[in-house]
Amino acid sequence: MKKSWILLLLGLASAAVFLVAPMIGMKFLGLDAVFPHGPDTIDSHIFWKIRLPRVCTSFLAGAALAVGGSAFQAMFRNPLATPFTLGVASGASLGASLYVGLGFSFSFLGISGSSLSAFAGAVLAILVVYSFTRARRSFSTGSMLLAGVALSFFFSSLILLIQYMSDFTKTFHILRRLIGGIEAVGFDSVLSLFPFVASGAVIIFSLNRELNLLSTGEDLAASRGVNVVRTKQVIFLGASLMIGGVVSICGPIGFIGMMVPHICRLMIGPDNRYLTFASLMFGGGFLTLCDMLARTLFAPVELPVGVVTAILGGPFFFWLLLAGSSERTVF
Amino acid sequence: MIMNEPAIEVENFSFAFGSKRILDRVSLKVSVGDSLSIIGPNGAGKTTLIKCLNRILSGGQGSIKIKGKPLELYSQKELAMAVSYVPQADGRQLPFTVEEFVTMGRYPYLSPFSSVSRQDRGIVRRAMELTATDSFADRTLGSLSGGERQKVFIAAAVAQEADILLLDEPTTFLDYRHQVEIRRLIKDLNRHHNTTIMAVTHDINDAVVSGSRVLALKAGELLFDGSPQELIRQGLLENIYETSFFLIDHPRTGRPIITPEESEP
């Protein structure tokens, strides 16, 4: 079948990116570095301890952002509805800023306090959005998105306020978090990210059929036997696990969650049974690629990966708005 | 056809959005194999009534039974096996192909990770043949005309294999040919597949022609439940719609044709 072939090709391409990316950097590392003959060389140390964890982190993060985005787009029947447009990123940033601004210092189960605060902020934002959807039955997706934008502005102002009242060092720390990026040394961040992403992805994958039905409208979904309220709760849970986990470790990385599902929809159609899987692989591969560019283009200076994704994503988005009215992609 | 076996029983049912009461102590009984039309002015609660019957809207006071079993004892999937629904044509954008969309009607019979069985595919195929939508099975819904789309929506409801079919203004916005086709299709489902039909309509003549029974709602109350002839004889139309009507007898069938009286000549 055609769709299976596209999935297979996507899988192979993202696997290739995943395998090649850790070799490429300021210095190309060949197989000698991957499988050193003698004792640990510097090159093998760079490969195993620095580049591979980073590639794993970016792959997980990209996959999670894309899968979360495609789930939200289907659930809200709107191409602009992603956890990011609904204020999750700014919620996470607010959490992290509060942690830095108030001078906290703690960690729990090996996860840093700033990550935990960011996670709490992301979950808070999703809760606000969720209770918004529950408050009135008749809320349109339009008002949902407006509320998300308003929430983002509100959180951003609070962040500015915290920055304004903090000293110089703290302000700098907060700024670093706001920019977002993938910084992984060793496998700690991979290990703390993996459970979030895996559990969220399993949840979303188990609900692909429900997502298809929700994307035809909540009334139709209910009439075909979907328990709409509970299904949406579970999707919210899955998405907040994934997005919260990613944002708490990598900061806000824009556009992946919005852009990747759209590209995948163009390639493979709107059926979520294929789409979520395609988004997972494309998102993982794409962010890994962007991060590779971010750390090599102007080496030794490293660009924040959010800059690369947004520079690629912005023009794409204009293109999508102008030319993307294909009936297969737009709800 | 088995008569008098209950399909839908509504007793003293009220429903409100916040403080706004939409349905007010509605009671009605529908037997298996019945076909009835719901008429009434805008905002009378017709759509709400239909949406409560298959729990698109949940809540409300009073009792609803579907095929003798209280609504609250149904899971949403079980309910979907008993009741199917065709929504108002609201111009929603659907990116799926006809076949993908009709296949979604099989949802209540599928478990999470199982694939669609050959038997399911056969049922989908027959539903598309019955509604004459199989010739454009691979086209996307967005590329269809309003009439074709409506047939696809009915096909998906047929694929759901429920005994009760609820339709919300199935012929509104359609051209005459498609109106006739959709009416014929609904009649066929009722007569030959013993599907119980409950259709909201704005076209009283449609109700007179197709409905063996008419329910009239106004401001959430059930004003009338009976035959179209009785509705006209009681002179209730003026009361329901708050406007005057002309009645003209159809030259061939003799059935009354109803048309609103305009003040302009």
Could B92 and A223 be called an inter-chain contact, meaning their C-beta atoms sit closer than 8 Å?
A: no
SS3 of chain B: helix, strand, coil, percent, to 5:
40, 30, 35
Give yes or no for residue A235 having a pLDDT over 50: yes
- pLDDT for A245 equals 83
- pLDDT for A329 equals 47
Digit-coded pLDDT (tens) for B117-171: 999 999 999 999 999 999 999 999 988 988 999 999 999 999 999 999 999 999 8
Give yes or no for residue A224 having a pLDDT over 90: yes
Could A224 and B101 be called an inter-chain contact, meaning their C-beta atoms sit closer than 8 Å?
A: no
Could A216 and B96 be called an inter-chain contact, meaning their C-beta atoms sit closer than 8 Å?
A: yes
- pLDDT for A327 equals 47
Domain with residue A215: its CATH number is 1.10.3470.10
Asked if A234 has any chain B CB less than 8 Å from its own CB, the reply is: no
Residue B236 Cα, gap to closest chain A Cα (Å): 32
- pLDDT for A44 equals 81
How many domains does chain A fold into? 1
Instruction: Residue B112: list chain A partners with CB under 8 A.
Output: 206-207, 209
Could B95 and A327 be called an inter-chain contact, meaning their C-beta atoms sit closer than 8 Å?
A: yes
Q: What percent of chain A is predicted at pLDDT more than 90?
A: 24
Instruction: Residue B56: list chain A partners with CB under 8 A.
Output: 218-219, 222-223
Mean pLDDT over A269-296 rounds to: 91
Give yes or no for residue A159 having a pLDDT over 50: yes
pLDDT higher at A64 or A196: A64
- What is the pLDDT of chain B when averaged over all its residues? 89
Q: Are B23 and B13 in contact (CB under 8 A)?
A: yes
- What is the pLDDT of chain A when averaged over all its residues? 83
Could B75 and A329 be called an inter-chain contact, meaning their C-beta atoms sit closer than 8 Å?
A: no
**For testing contact with chain B, the best of A70, A139, A207, A224 (most B CBs within 10 A):** A224
Mean pLDDT over B206-230 rounds to: 85
User: CB-based contacts of B102: which residues, under 8 Å, 6+ apart?
Assistant: B124, B127, B128, B133, B137, B152, B155, B156, B159
Asked if A132 has any chain B CB less than 8 Å from its own CB, the reply is: no
Position B102 confidence tier, pLDDT thresholds 50, 70, 90: very high
Mean pLDDT over A300-315 rounds to: 82
Digit-coded pLDDT (tens) for A39-98: 777 888 888 888 889 999 999 999 999 999 999 888 888 888 887 788 887 888 888 888
Q: What percent of chain A is predicted at pLDDT more than 70?
A: 90
Mean pLDDT over B5-14 rounds to: 94
User: CB-based contacts of B71: which residues, under 8 Å, 6+ apart?
Assistant: B53, B55, B63, B64, B65, B79
Could A327 and B51 be called an inter-chain contact, meaning their C-beta atoms sit closer than 8 Å?
A: no
Instruction: Residue B156: list chain A partners with CB under 8 A.
Output: 224
Instruction: Residue B160: list chain A partners with CB under 8 A.
Output: 224
- pLDDT for A313 equals 74
Q: What percent of chain B is predicted at pLDDT more than 90?
A: 62
Q: State pTM to two decimals.
A: 0.87
Give the E-state strand segments of A41-100 in sequence order. Answer: none
- pLDDT for A120 equals 86
Digit-coded pLDDT (tens) for B167-209: 999 988 888 898 889 999 999 999 999 999 999 988 888 777 7
- Parent domain of A153: 3-327
Distance CA B129, CA A102 (A): 67
Position B263 confidence tier, pLDDT thresholds 50, 70, 90: low
Could A206 and B113 be called an inter-chain contact, meaning their C-beta atoms sit closer than 8 Å?
A: yes
User: Chain A residue closest to B111 (CA)?
Assistant: A209
Give yes or no for residue B25 having a pLDDT over 80: yes
Asked if A271 has any chain B CB less than 8 Å from its own CB, the reply is: yes
Residue B17 Cα, gap to closest chain A Cα (Å): 8
Using a 10 angstrom Cβ sphere, with 0-12 exposed, 13-18 middle and 19 or more buried, the burial of residue B16 is middle
Distance CA B29, CA B52 (A): 15
Instruction: Residue A220: list chain B partners with CB under 8 A.
Output: 85, 87
Asked if A315 has any chain B CB less than 8 Å from its own CB, the reply is: no
| Chain A residues 188-227 with CB within 8 Å of chain B | 206-207, 209, 212-213, 215-220, 222-227
- Count of A-B CB contacts under 8 Å: 82
